[in-house]
Amino acid sequence: MSKLVTAKAHTNIALVKYWGKKDAHLMLPQNGSISLTLDHFYTETSVQFQPELTADQVYFDNQLIAPAKAARMTTFLDLIRQRSGQPNFATVRTTNHVPTSAGLASSASGFAALAAAGSRAAGLDLTPIELSRLARRGSGSATRSIFGGFAEWHAGHDDASSYAEPLQDPVDWDIQMIAVVLKATKKPISSTAGMARVVATSPYYPAWVQTANHDLDEMRQAILNKDLTSVGEIAETNAMRMHALNLSAKPAFNYFTADTLTAIKAVQDLRASGVNCYYTLDAGPNVKIICAGQDTPVIMTALQRYFAAAQLIVTKPGPGISITEH
């Protein structure tokens, strides 16, 4: 029987977003992106290839899931089998410590963990960059969850040139995010479908690619300078441009709820009163607030006027992937 391998990967939140693919099969993005890996949200996945199995068995939070629901993961395991020469099916057990499909990057941590555990269980010993390339094939943003702290995903032009690498890890300055968890339910349109619609129908898409590439240069410098204000301003503008694309698609769609707008307004009010904080959103209703740890009490007090304490999660820069062989 082959070895059992467990990997733990943390979610990342993009500060400069990737929104749109130029190659859906290879998961190559239209533009590069920069993210911050977070300590609070993570996925743990164990993989073991077993000769007696006649199909992959995927357990999600201890429940065996139907083959149709596991199809994306089994397709990814096929890729690992193809690369490693491992002939057997696998038992996969995955536990998500993050709301699924709610814009909190569960697929990023999920496929990063599956890539790490699956490849090692199949006998591959990949470098972090190689692992980043492999994880990208499951979920684009998973390419960044291999690394801790700030990471940059290079868009590239083929499989070899599209990968992430660390920009700054560990993060030795005062920056964190407060996640406002509004609705841990399935989103109205998946990220994959939303991106495809935007690329195909938004008249503003070429301008997005151009401005996102400019944002990358500015964000890289802001992180190097440990400049919270610049990081926050660039991230907020970039996020709203991404969501503006969704409103300009045909048909238009959006991930906001009334509570999303309430959280955005609360951040704007805090900033107007002199608190240095900014918001960002991915493909979901949840708002992430970029701020300094020292401002946590005043921000939490303001937000608790609108949201329950359990909805507000303080999260700091998190680590890269860890792999354990049993």
Q: Which domain CATH number covers 81?
A: 3.30.230.10
Closest by Cα among 283, 285, 253 to 139: 283
Q: Report the 10 Å Cβ neighbour count for 203.
A: 10
Output the pLDDT for position 101: 47
Task: Give 25: exposed, middle or buried? Use CB within 10 Å, 0-12, 13-18, 19+.
Answer: exposed
Cβ distance 148 to 319 under 8 Å? Answer: yes
Give the number of domains in the chain. 2
Lowest mean pLDDT among 138-142, 184-188, 316-320: 184-188
Cβ distance 241 to 208 under 8 Å? Answer: yes
Q: Which of 110, 141, 171 is the last residue of a domain?
A: 171
Task: Based on the fold, state whether residues 32 and 165 are members of the same structural domain.
Answer: yes
Give residue 12's pLDDT band: very low, low, confident or very high (50, 70, 90).
Answer: very high
Task: Based on the fold, state whether residues 252 and 303 are members of the same structural domain.
Answer: yes
Residue for token digits 């900014």?
278
Q: Which two tokens stand for residue 9?
A: 């990967």
Query: Is residue 322 one of the residues assigned to a domain?
Result: no
Task: Based on the fold, state whether residues 231 and 159 are members of the same structural domain.
Answer: no
Mean pLDDT confidence for 121-148: 98
Residue for token digits 């390339």?
133
Q: Where are the alpha helices (DSSP H) in the chain?
A: 71-84, 106-121, 128-136, 191-201, 205-224, 228-247, 258-272, 296-303
| Mean per-residue pLDDT of the chain | 95
Query: Is residue 216 one of the residues assigned to a domain?
Result: yes
CA distance linking residue 228 with residue 219, whole number of Å: 10
Give whole-number Cα distances, 31 to 27, 164, 206, in Å.
Answer: 12, 13, 11
CA distance linking residue 143 with residue 130, whole number of Å: 10
Task: Based on the fold, state whether residues 23 and 167 are members of the same structural domain.
Answer: yes
Cβ distance 121 to 5 under 8 Å? Answer: yes
Dihedral sign, Cα of residue 123, residue 74, residue 29, residue 145:
negative
Query: Is residue 283 one of the residues assigned to a domain?
Result: yes
Cβ distance 314 to 49 under 8 Å? Answer: no
pTM here is: 0.96
Task: Based on the fold, state whether residues 55 and 189 are members of the same structural domain.
Answer: no
Query: Is residue 104 one of the residues assigned to a domain?
Result: yes
Q: pLDDT, tens digit, for every residue of 200-243?
A: 999 999 999 999 999 999 999 999 999 999 999 999 999 999 99
Q: In what order do the strands lie in the sheet with 287-291?
A: 278-280, 287-291, 176-180, 312-315
Q: pLDDT, tens digit, for every residue of 257-308?
A: 999 999 999 999 999 999 999 999 999 899 999 999 999 999 999 999 999 9
Task: Based on the fold, state whether residues 86 and 110 are members of the same structural domain.
Answer: yes
CA distance linking residue 195 with residue 14, whole number of Å: 15
CA distance linking residue 114 with residue 39, whole number of Å: 18
Task: Give 68: exposed, middle or buried? Use CB within 10 Å, 0-12, 13-18, 19+.
Answer: exposed
Q: What is the DSSP letter of 210?
A: H
Q: Give the domain range for residue 275.
A: 176-315
